[in-house]
Amino acid sequence: MTSSETQPDFDVQLRNAIDSKTKPLGSLGRIEELAFSLGTIYRNLTPRITNPRMLVFAGNHGITESGVSAFPSEVTAQMVLNFISGGAAINVLCRTFGIDLEIVNAGVEFDFPSHSDLVDEPIAASTKNFHLEPAMTAEQVQSAITLGRRRVQAAVDGGSNFILLGEMGIGNTSSAAAITARVTQTSIGVCTGRGTGLTDESLAHKTQVLAEALARHESAVSPLDVLATFGGFEIAAMVGAILQSKELGIPVMVDGYITTSAALIAAGIDATSREVMVFSHRSQEPGHLIALQHLHAYELLNLDLRLGEGSGAALAFPLAKAATEILCDMATFDAAQVSGAIDSAHE
């Protein structure tokens, strides 16, 4: 169904399918809107989520050399080891909710052991320090985007029709803040948060470093230039994952601030990619709300999260699952032989 004439017809059918369920109109609130969004993405009145796949992309950031993080860059590799050993929060959440987990080394300098959950394909050991020079070359950006596309395609080839995104990269809140400030044309001071737990003094230093970087790279304005200048390998890979999800017509659950910065770039490259994005939560990072508002998005959860790893996406996944199951399995008034559909406006 691709023509302009069939789109309204499908939307009407889907809305009617939701409204005809045995409940007052609109009584399931945002779950009904989520059901409508997912039905629209799948182009199916009764979609089923199969084999959901969490893709956690990891990458080192040269910007850490400028003292913007409370943790050293080697923590990125240490956390990847924690992921593949099964001990991180995202491992627990994926096991809890039946989500397949794949860790992708997009750019971490470390000799990782072979593991069934790890795709070890780094673009380089680390990005450059964008305080001084662009983080990535144009070729590296394209390689990272291609990596993200391939991981989504592999998930779909394996039977998945729902992608969740996560990331790991010490320093990547700096990338997210710079990307958000440039794309939304918002002050970097408003977009910069404490990341891994900076003190007031360290936060002021981080903000100053990012302001200097934005001034140094004022000519970077197109989506790909912004990504190359300020992004990380893991952010670029998530851009590719979003673009491939759009191409395949499947939903992608966006996690927090860093993944939303990838969503900003993806939407800049292809505005229609916004149609497959589902936003899991709003993080404590102040710039995240700015990015969400720019994308005209609402979050499913607001739990003061700031962990990353895809943790918010995993926590929101049961809501997506519930929304599709309601579409598939909840009875209609006619089928249940229940009369008198209640208009919520008249309750």
CATH of the domain at 167: 3.40.50.10210
How confident is the model over 149-187, as pLDDT tens digits? 999 999 999 999 999 999 999 999 999 999 999 999 999
Domain count, the chain: 2
Domain that holds residue 19: 6-48+326-346
> In whole angstroms, what is the distance from residue 259 CA to residue 286 CA?
14
Same domain for 83 and 224, yes or no, is: yes
Over residues 134-156, the mean pLDDT reads 98
Which positions are catalytic? 309
Question: Does some domain include residue 93?
Answer: yes
* pLDDT the model gives residue 6: 62
Residue 57 placed within a domain: yes
pLDDT at 115 exceeding the cut of 60: yes
Question: Can you give the pLDDT at residue 344?
Answer: 44
- Kindly state the average pLDDT of the residues 42-51: 97
Whole-model pTM: value is 0.94
Query: Does residue 1 sit within a domain?
Result: no
**120 and 40 belong to one structural domain:** no
79, 135: one domain: yes
Residue 143 sits in the same domain as residue 274: yes
- Give me the mean pLDDT over the 107-131 stretch: 97
- Whether residues 121 and 235 fall in one domain: yes
Shared domain check, 97 and 76 = yes
| Mean model confidence pLDDT for the chain | 94
pLDDT, residue 227, reads 98
Q: Based on the domain organization, do 330 and 313 belong to the same domain?
A: no
pLDDT, tens digit, 9 for 90 and up, residues 327-345: 999 998 888 777 654 444 4
174 and 25 share a domain?
A: no
* Judgement on whether residues 168 and 278 belong to the same structural domain of the protein: yes
Tell me what pLDDT residue 196 has. 78
* Residues 117 and 228 both lie in one domain: yes
Residue 242 and residue 120 share a domain: yes
